Structure 1
Amino acid sequence: MSCLIRFERTGGPEVLQWVEADVPLPAAGEVRIRHAAVGLNFIDTYHRSGLYPVPLPSGLGQEAAGVIEALGEGVTAFAVGDRVAYVGGPLGAYSEVRNLAADLLVGLPDDLSFEQGAAMMMQGLTAQYLLRRTYRVQPGDTVLIHAAAGGVGLIACQWAKALGATVIGTVSSDAKAELARRHGCDHTIIYTRESVSARVREITDGEGVPVVYDSIGKDTFMDSLACLRPLGMMVTFGNASGPVPAFEPALLSRMGSLFLTRPTLFHYTARRRDLLEMAGELFAVVASGQVRLSINQRYPLKDAAIAHRELEARRTTGSSVLIP
């Protein structure tokens, strides 16, 4: 028996229910995991609200860390008692215990806590593919990172700085600007009272930046394009303000033959070899101290609705975890 969060209809945080359910023996290729910490991510609100439709009723959550309790037939890469973390698979991480395909798991090093494991898989691997694979940041680059005080933002700012980049970050308040600066952001732009593109042009002596990492979506898309230098890359990887409206592709030509991509983590981790390589690089940069995880909010798992309200109201900073 396991307690978990489930929702039977889409809507606001009030649709989340705390229920009990039986957990069967793991099937072939699966393991049973007892969660020690569960990650909270903005994509969870998209599934709950219906922006990203899922079959209902449904569990929620794609990221957690814990201990293996049982093995299904054919699982040889892990043993009972192993510490593991994961991101992806069927929704259902908002639970005390669950079964999951072993191929989705990575071993969690002993020098990293369960909370770190739960907080870093979605956000940390997102930062990894953004900085190392989508646009490979080089020493001397100047990069723009929206939502610099958020979970992905704080990781990406530190990592980009460690790679030798100059980091410009957008935030909503002076307090968040200070937080971003403590995590590697060289220049902060408070978008509630400054023009982002004007400040970027000022900082770069009119040149613009080679890449913009934008998780906000609709509200920032056009201004982000205006921040790019010719042949720059626009990476739109989230919809915090809503999806980007349709536009004429010739706009990219007029603004400097810009590149545009809309990546998602799970295409980058679809091959297990890539997942293990990406996780290994992430774990190493965290263990080295070059990237410090800021787990600034902790909620009981049963209070997931409260966590969603605070996340959507942008009252959170850094990473948040749910504790079963």
Structure 2
Amino acid sequence: MTKKFKILPLVLLVSGAVNAATDHPWYAGARVGGTNYDNFDKALDGAESNFDRDDWGGGVFIGFQQNDWFSVEGGYTYLGQADVKNGSGGVEVQGVDFVGKFTWAASPVVDLYGKLGGFIFDVDNSVLDKDDKGVAATAGIGAEYYFNDSLSTRLEYQYYHQLGDTAPGETDIHFYGVSLVYHWGAAAPVPVIEPEPMSEPEPMPEPTPTVTKVPAISVNLPFAFDSKSISPEDIALMKPIATRLTEYPDSKLYVVGHTDARGTDAYNLKLSEERAAAVAQYLKGHFGLTQDRIVVMGKGESEPIAPNDTAAGQAKNRRVEVYTPGFELRN
């Protein structure tokens, strides 16, 4: 296979991958790097020294993020060719990856991950004029750095185990390279609105039998570290407030996000605003609230309710305060 035909499927798949999905949370990327053919076996056993076993490789992939720590990926990978040193031809491998990706957030902008899955391979042995197709195991590790919410880069290593069969021979292949990944599909955030200054309440007149006081309702929603996801437990906690907003169309909703003290002030302020916006977006979408009834703000780490020097205190400070002020109904 000539070099231009090696590149052709790569270009076609890139153009298809970046337009293949529109819903959150999808991502697509391309990778390029080096390959090394190792551990020849069966028909190729003992022939390592006859081959130039280093080449280039690359591919494209598309993935879907299931949750904070797991995603699935699939894509095309070209693993280069081990050329015969004193002759023509060689062993060339390409195929399709299907892997699970397991992620650990090392910092707000860096993820460490591992991959495990299968590789549907196509081995072209032009030395023996034989081809082989099949499935092999693959695994890898890497680190991913996020420039922003839409763009990241990866540095990774991936191992492919015993590609080929007895007639054309088998080989392990090591891939090491870099990737550029584009993420898209996030829902439009609820705009953060600065609350109007609250004036001192004027003294209320003595209640009369025709006045009904409706008390304020408030709840604190806990959040996991560096998370802005709403859990089913959070939704259950918000039911009384949702009922209030439905029963009284003139009532207002205040959503205030907070974080613990880990991370920079700027990052924590942004995270607190995103937490508050996520809660407001849910209530707005599920109960038909108009935007003028919602006040959303983030306070970052500036208003802790517990010490930040213990894990228990940090957990209390990672919260979103949701409340509707009390008011009076005159009959």
Q: TM-score, normalised by structure 2?
A: 0.22
The structure with the larger Rg is 2
More relative contact order, 1 or 2 (CA 8 Å, 6+ apart) = 1
> How high is the TM-score relative to the length of structure 1?
0.22
Larger helix proportion of the pair: 1
